[in-house]
Structure 1
Amino acid sequence: MAKLTLKSAQKAIGIGTFVKKTIKFRGANGEEFEGEIFVKIVSHDVVAHATDIWGIDKDKLTVDHYRKALLFQLIHEDEKAKFFPKITDTGSVSTEMISAMYDAADEVLDFAGKNWILNQMKNSGANSSSTESAEEQ
């Protein structure tokens, strides 16, 4: 096992790299659209202070402000261009698209740490049930 340092941890996490994700949303006529976005892997501090971009008193911020601030900083067209040029542009798409982008970013960054825990629980459940099935046979 290698010695863990701040630099090696940041490299292992992939800080500053991008993950390509496919999102789906409905168009004006109800047809399904699918497209690729890039989610930038950032540090905890970037996520925790994302709302600073609004320049609003913390007690006046809403969940919507937080989500849009995260999307503004994390979602990119490619590795060189942000998807939303300005923070106010985050409101220029549908709520469904905002939700799809947020879900994609959450899959990559696991904002609350819940995805990893749920996957561990699913994996251990799947492993124990496959073991039980083998034993029954």
Structure 2
Amino acid sequence: MAKLTLEKAKKAVGIGNLVEKTIKFRDVDGKPFEGEIYIKVLSSDEVANITDILNLKKDEKYTINQYRDAMLVQTVFEGKDKPFFPDLKSTGQVSDEMKVAMYLAADQVINFTGKYWISTKSQNSTVNSSAAESVGEPSQKQEET
């Protein structure tokens, strides 16, 4: 096992890397449309400061839409060094459905809400408890006879 350093840790979790994701939404005719985008893996400091680009005054609140737009500007890319959205205003040039699809893709990569980890843990717990129940069932049947 190699000694862990900050640089090795950042590399291991992929900070700064781009992860390709496929998003799905409806096109102008209402038909399903798929496309690939890249999501930049952010550090926890970058996630914590994601709303800094909103330039809000001290104690000024932001909406969930402003948060999502700030997140999309900083995480969604067309390719290396080419952000999908050049600025906050440009996020309004696509549909809300597309923005939600992008947000969900980014959340899978960066796990902004913690829900992805929680849902994965829940799925694993359900699988484990189901396996435990099925193992326990023969014992219960044996007791009945």
Matched, 1:103 2:73: no
> Counterpart of 2:31 in structure 1: which amino acid?
E
* Structure 1, gaps ≥5 residues long: none
Offset of residue 80 of structure 1: 2.8
Alignment: residue pair count: 137
Q: Distance in 1 between matches of 2:84 and 2:10?
A: 24
Aligned-pair identity in percent equals: 52
Q: TM-score of the superposition, structure 1-length normalised?
A: 0.89
Provide runs of 4+ in structure 1 moved above 4 Å: none
Aligned residue in 2 for 1:35: 35
Partner of 1:86: 87
| 2:72 alignment partner in structure 1 | 71
Residue aligning to 1:13:
13
In structure 2, distance between residues paired with 1:4 and 1:24: 38
Q: Secondary structure at the match of 1:86?
A: coil
Q: Which moved more, 1:15-24 or 1:112-121?
A: 112-121
Rounded to whole Å, the distance in 1 between the matches of 2:2 and 2:46 is 27
- Give structure 2 stretches of 5+ with no counterpart: 139-145
Give the structure-2-normalised TM-score: 0.84
Deviation at 1:64, TM superposition (A): 1.1
Amino acid at match of 2:117: W
Q: Which has the larger radius of gyration?
A: 2
Relative to structure 2, which stretch is displaced further, 63-72 or 48-57? Answer: 48-57
| Counterpart in the other structure of 2:63 | 62
CA RMSD in angstroms comes to 1.8
Distance 2:37 2:109 in 1: 12
User: Offset at 1:107?
Assistant: 0.7
CA distance in 2, matches of 1:133, 1:45: 44
Secondary structure of the corresponding residue to residue 77 of structure 1: strand
Secondary structure in structure 1 of the residue aligned to 2:125: helix
Q: More deviation in 68-77 or 125-134? A: 125-134
| CA–CA distance in structure 2, aligned partners of residues 107 and 91 of structure 1 | 22
- Matches of 1:55 and 1:117 in 2, distance apart? 32
